[in-house]
Structure 1
Amino acid sequence: MKVMSMRWLTALVLIGCVAVAGQAKAQADAPVKVIFDTDMASDCDDAGALAVLHALADAGEAEILAVVTNRKCPAGVSGGVCDVINTFYGRADLPIGTDKDGAKVSWNRPSSYTRALYDEFPHDSPIDEQLPDALQVYRQTLAAAEDGSVVICSVGALSNLEDLLESHADESSSLTGRELISQKVSRTVIMGGHFPRSPKPETNILLDPPAAVAVAHGWPGEILWQGFEVGAALQCGATLKTVESNHPVRRAFELRPYREGRAIDHGKPAHDQAAVLLAVRGADSQYWKLSEPGRVVVDSDGHTQWMPDSKKEHRFASIRGGPEKLEALIDSLMTTRSR
């Protein structure tokens, strides 16, 4: 008989505790209204992040307003996979938009899981080219929202955010993109960069460096950055072995190669799941600590650097203490389904 690792045993013990804590929080707070902006193509942590968001919505902590994709999936079904997961969690009618241009840097490697999920699971989504444009979904969703009520969570290229920032008034709203952001968005959480300074360009920034420069320099309001170093410290997903075999997020982790096997074998870094937690629950001091106020500087090659500045509204998050409690929380949410 194989001996369980101490990390696995710790996760199992903590999962029950974090689930109870999440239920208590849901009863105390109004749902956080979220637009989820994802590169649902290359990595399965995007699927895991959307599962976390649905679990938080099921618990009454979040309201999902829309899902948009920001990277061109070679199979052309990134939006469809979002619809697969939305349908599985009982929210088949959520608005979905896709960036028709895709990230400016595209490696065009086939996704290990998007085509399989699109073909194997229930949904009613057409291919990406036939879905509404991400910018259209952004503008319509923000225009319909109450002032200061929306949290944007971006876990991929910043192309959609740049498009929104630079957009003009249209039939959805007489406001420019900058005005919509200032009026409707309370906080923006970005998974990207590496802090306090990146040794090399981080993937999400590298996907579209001009967009990252534009957003870092010109985005109005509060930005909470989560760098590569956070997700790299978190190993999540192995507990998906315990859910039903027809679970699309389990399937994504089964298909995604990682190290010498698959992501579900031992889990993998949870960059995007952690960003969703920050977007919905904020920087809970039980798990997180925040930098002082400042700004993120992105150079033309995609390097990021943190610059303290008391007049700016950017901060970056780091893990408080060890990663075990945060890992257990993410695994608990990925494996929870109340519908």
Structure 2
Amino acid sequence: MKRMLALHLISVGFLFAPLATPITLHLVAAEPVKLIFDTDMGNDCDDVLALGMIHALQSRGECELLAVTITKDHSLAAPFVDVVNTFYGRGDIPIGVCDSGVTDHEGRFNVLAAQKDEGEYRYAHDLITGDDTPGAVDVLRQTLADQEDGSVVIAQVGFSTNLANLLRSVADQHSDLNGIELVRKKVRLLSIMAGAFTKIPNNEGQLYDHKEYNIIKDIPSAQYLVNHWPQPIVWSGFEIGRSLPYPSESIEQDYRYVDHHPLAEAYVLYNPPPHNRPTWDLTSVLHAVRPDRGYFDVSLPGNVIVAADGLTTFQADEAGKSRYLQLTDAQKIRTTETLVQLSSQPPTQVDCEP
């Protein structure tokens, strides 16, 4: 017999009136953000924390996760996404994969999708291999076609492979529109973790031009994206997540409500505490869902240029479609606390007994 623990997380009751009438505060967006999450799941643990954040925000009524598409080309990446989605009670969310050969190694924590204890999977999930998963472009086109015009936000926190391929796509059974037309009609914002828009200090404190991982792993796709994406883009550069390290104390303390937690175990397998991992991907998710809450400042408009070696530069232009996140010292504590609270928020129901 399995024991279920109901966790009421979305509202908090306060006693204000003399009659001690409880008042419940609901921090819920007027309309949930329709969100697609595009991730290179398995290359860094910030992708995992970002997906956990999305589920917390959906439990709060602030977003709806429409689909997850993956730019890491390994057969365990999709099953691990299914592990996380199932853990949060949403194992039916569509998942799409790429066939690119980019980062086709296993990864340090996607192996959790295959982990068994006494012959049973440690984490419940239905998807056993990415070989049984539809292609990302097909999932993206179907998902976009099913949504209202101008309603979708995409958080891209991996390579630009899938979205570049989406832009190149032609009319199909899902839509008579080609990829660029479909994005123009259905997407209102792309929140992307990629590039770097300030010089970065090295270990000796010297500043250098950083060629960011999500760009350099698929430079042609990044170049195609910046040249052809028809809607606004907000970039979270390398410098943003680097300035907001996730406190490892949270990994050690805040996920103990179950014996095995996929977010905490993925973090430990990637680089165990006391390592404080930067929150790169989490920042793009936070801006995608809560763009007006003052967690970040945003630059003036312009255009991002991706050089042949992967270096990103920003050119101000009033007609440009891109902006990038900026962060003040005053914003860092509040933003970090928000990232931690959302990432570590338990599901509405947790299976407490194996």
Show the counterpart of 2:57.
Answer: 56
SS state at 1:65 partner = strand
Query: Contact 2:171–2:178 at 8 Å: present in 1 too?
Result: yes
Aligned to 2:237, which of 227, 235, 240?
Answer: 227
CA distance in 2 between partners of 1:140 and 1:117 (Å): 26
**Amino acid across the alignment from 2:108:** S
Query: Does structure 1 residue 333 correspond to structure 2 residue 335?
Result: no
- The residue that corresponds to 1:240 in the other structure is 251
Once the two structures are TM-superposed, the CA of residue 315 in structure 1 deviates from its matched residue by: 0.3
Alignment of 1:79-98 (within 5 A): 79-98=78-97
Q: Are 1:116 and 2:112 an aligned pair?
A: yes
Shift of 1:82: 0.6
**Match for residue 36 of structure 1?**
37
Q: Give the whole-Å Cα distance in 2 for the aligned partners of 1:86 and 1:27.
A: 21
* Distance in 1 between residues matched to 2:48 and 2:76, nearest whole Å: 13
**Does the Cα contact within 8 Å between 1:38 and 1:68 map onto a contact in 2?**
yes
1:29 shift after superposition: 2.3
Q: CA deviation at 1:25?
A: 7.1
SS at the partner of 1:152? strand
Deviation at 1:102, TM superposition (A): 4.1
SS of equivalent residue, structure 1 residue 151: strand
- For 1:66 and 1:241, the matched residues in 2 are separated by 30
- Tell me the residue number matched to 2:286: 277
163, 186, 189: which is aligned to 2:188?
186
Give the secondary-structure state (helix, strand or coil) at the position aligned to 1:168. Answer: coil
1:282 CA drift (Å): 1.2
Counterpart Cα distance in 2 of 1:185 and 1:90: 26
Establish whether residue 210 from structure 1 lines up as the match of residue 212 from structure 2.
no
Residue ranges of structure 2 left out of the alignment (5+ in a row): 1-8, 14-23, 116-121, 200-207, 350-354
After TM superposition, the runs of 4+ consecutive aligned structure 1 residues lying more than 4 A away are: none
User: As a proportion of its length, which structure holds more helix?
Assistant: 1
Cα 1:66–1:201 shift into 2, 3 Å? same
- TM-score, L = length of structure 2: 0.83
Q: Aligned pair 1:290/2:298, yes or no?
A: yes
How far is the alpha carbon of 1:24 from its aligned partner? 5.9
CA-to-partner distance for each residue in 1:5-54, whole Å, 9 max, x for gaps? xxxxxxxxxxx9xx99xx96733421000000000011111110000000
Residues 1:138 and 2:133 are matched in the alignment: no
Where does residue 12 of structure 1 map in the other structure?
none
Q: Secondary structure at the match of 2:197?
A: coil
Are positions 1:255 and 2:269 aligned together?
A: yes
With 120-129 and 294-303 compared, the bigger mean Cα shift is at: 120-129
Q: Is the 8 A contact 1:96 1:134 kept in 2?
A: yes
**Corresponding residue SS for 2:28:** helix
Report the 3-state secondary structure (helix = DSSP H, G, I; strand = E; otherwise coil) of the residue aligned with 1:251: helix
Give SS of 1:269's match.
coil
In structure 2, the residue matched to 1:165 is: 167
**TM-score of the aligned structures, taking structure 1 as reference length:** 0.87
**2:326 counterpart of 1:318:** yes
Q: How far has the Cα of 1:175 moved from its partner?
A: 0.5
**Per-residue deviation at 1:78?**
0.4
Deviations 1:264-306 (A, max 9, x none): 4343111011111011111532x21110011101011110001
Identity of paired residues, percent? 37
RMSD: 1.9
CA distance in 1 between counterparts of 2:292 and 2:224 reads 25
Which has the greater radius of gyration?
Answer: 2
Alignment coverage as a number of residue pairs: 309
- Report what 1:153 is aligned to: 155
SS at match of 2:313: strand
Measured in 2, the distance between the counterparts of 1:168 and 1:128 equals 24
1:203 shift after superposition: 0.2
Contact residue 31 and residue 62 of structure 1 kept, 8 A: yes
Give the structure 2 partner of residue 27 of structure 1.
Answer: 28
CA distance in 2, matches of 1:118, 1:333: 27
Offset, 1:240:
2.4
CA distance in 1, matches of 2:187, 2:106: 34
Conservation of the 8 A alpha-carbon contact between 1:283 and 1:289: no
| 1:167/1:237 CA distance change after superposition, 3 Å | farther
Q: Report the Cα distance in structure 1 between the residues aligned to 2:324 and 2:169, rounded to whole angstroms.
A: 27
After alignment, is 131-140 or 190-199 more displaced? 190-199
Which residue does 1:6 correspond to in 2? Answer: none
Using the TM superposition, give the Cα deviation of residue 216 of structure 1 relative to its aligned residue in structure 2, in angstroms: 0.8
